[in-house]
């Protein structure tokens, strides 16, 4: 079985801050795809990575055999609410610039949606925190400003155009994203939804066996020699 390829999204990891806009993120994934697996394969993304994966699939509908989206959100439909979210993300960007990445990550990990990650087994959580410690304030601020929900397009109208198989995974304890997954599944022509019991926003690490089983069943039969995820978490 081929290994997953896991490049960091723009703004994440130790690299200098880059262009994190939606169009630049799509270009980043396209460049990584061309370099790592030029033939159509499977694209997987979690949270912001799921947003990036969906953006790329909409822009390049023939690039992938299938999508796997974990805790996805296709966008904010109301322009006024999208503007409100941009203002919230701007305040968060200013906070990370003022306090630094370590303090901001500590604050962010205590938010209700992220707190369920305390369920992750200790050695995996340690590795996850080690990876997060590589983030820079400049990169996180750029990502918040340019790739937050308020800055990304509303992709709800585009869902019906995605004809490839799409697996949507969400944790049952993350009610908002479970509902979003069900709503998305109803609009995707070939969408499948898996709600993972006992998990919150990060089901693939909070309940890895159930999540992996769902993914294995989904990709069974897909001829996939290389798989890529646009965000390492």
pLDDT for 1: 46
DSSP the chain: -PPEE-PPPTT-SSSPP---SHHHHHHHHHHHHHHH--S-EEEEEETHHHHHHHHHHHH-TTSEEEEEEES-------HHHHHHHHHHHHHHHHHHHHH-HHHHHHHHTTSHHHHGGGGS-HHHHHHHHHHHTT--HHHHHHHHHHHSTTTS---GGGGGG--S-EEEEEETT-HHHHHHHHHHHHHSTTEEEEEETT--S-HHHHSHHHHHHHHHHHHTT---S-EE-S---
pLDDT for 171: 97
pLDDT for 125: 95
Sheet holding 191-196, edge to edge: 4-5, 227-228, 41-46, 64-70, 166-171, 191-196
pLDDT for 15: 80
Q: Which CATH superfamily is domain 1-233 in?
A: Alpha/Beta hydrolase fold, catalytic domain (3.40.50.1820)
pLDDT for 214: 95
User: What are the boundaries of each domain within the chain?
Assistant: 1-233
pLDDT for 226: 58
pLDDT by residue for the chain (233 residues), tens only, comes to: 467 888 899 999 888 778 999 999 999 999 999 988 877 789 999 999 999 999 999 999 889 999 999 999 999 999 999 999 999 999 999 999 999 999 999 999 999 999 999 999 999 999 999 999 999 999 999 999 999 999 999 999 999 999 999 999 999 999 999 999 999 999 999 999 999 999 999 999 999 999 999 999 998 867 545 566 654 33
Q: What is the pTM of this model?
A: 0.92
pLDDT for 232: 36
pLDDT for 224: 46
């Amino acid at each position: 079985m081929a290994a997953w390829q896991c490049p960091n999204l723009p703004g994440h990891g130790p690299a200098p801050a880059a262009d994190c806009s939606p169009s630049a993120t799509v270009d980043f994934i396209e460049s990584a795809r061309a370099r790592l697996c030029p033939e159509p394969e499977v694209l997987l993304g979690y949270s912001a990575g799921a947003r990036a994966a969906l953006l790329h699939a909409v822009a390049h509908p023939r690039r992938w055999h299938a999508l796997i989206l974990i805790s996805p959100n296709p966008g904010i439909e109301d322009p006024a609410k999208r503007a409100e979210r941009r203002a919230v993300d701007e305040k968060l960007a200013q906070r990370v610039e003022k306090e630094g990445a370590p303090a901001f990550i500590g604050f962010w990990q205590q938010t209700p949606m992220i707190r369920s990650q305390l369920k992750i087994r200790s050695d995996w959580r340690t590795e996850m925190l080690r990876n997060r410690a590589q983030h820079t304030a400049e990169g996180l601020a750029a990502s918040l400003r340019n790739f937050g929900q308020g800055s990304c397009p509303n992709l709800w109208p585009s869902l019906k155009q995605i004809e490839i198989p799409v697996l949507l995974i969400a944790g049952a304890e993350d009610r908002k994203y479970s509902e979003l997954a069900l709503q998305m599944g109803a609009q995707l022509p070939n969408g499948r939804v898996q709600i993972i019991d006992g998990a919150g926003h990060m089901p693939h690490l909070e309940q890895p066996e159930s999540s992996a089983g769902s993914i294995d069943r989904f990709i069974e039969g897909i001829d996939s020699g290389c798989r890529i995820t646009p965000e390492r978490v």
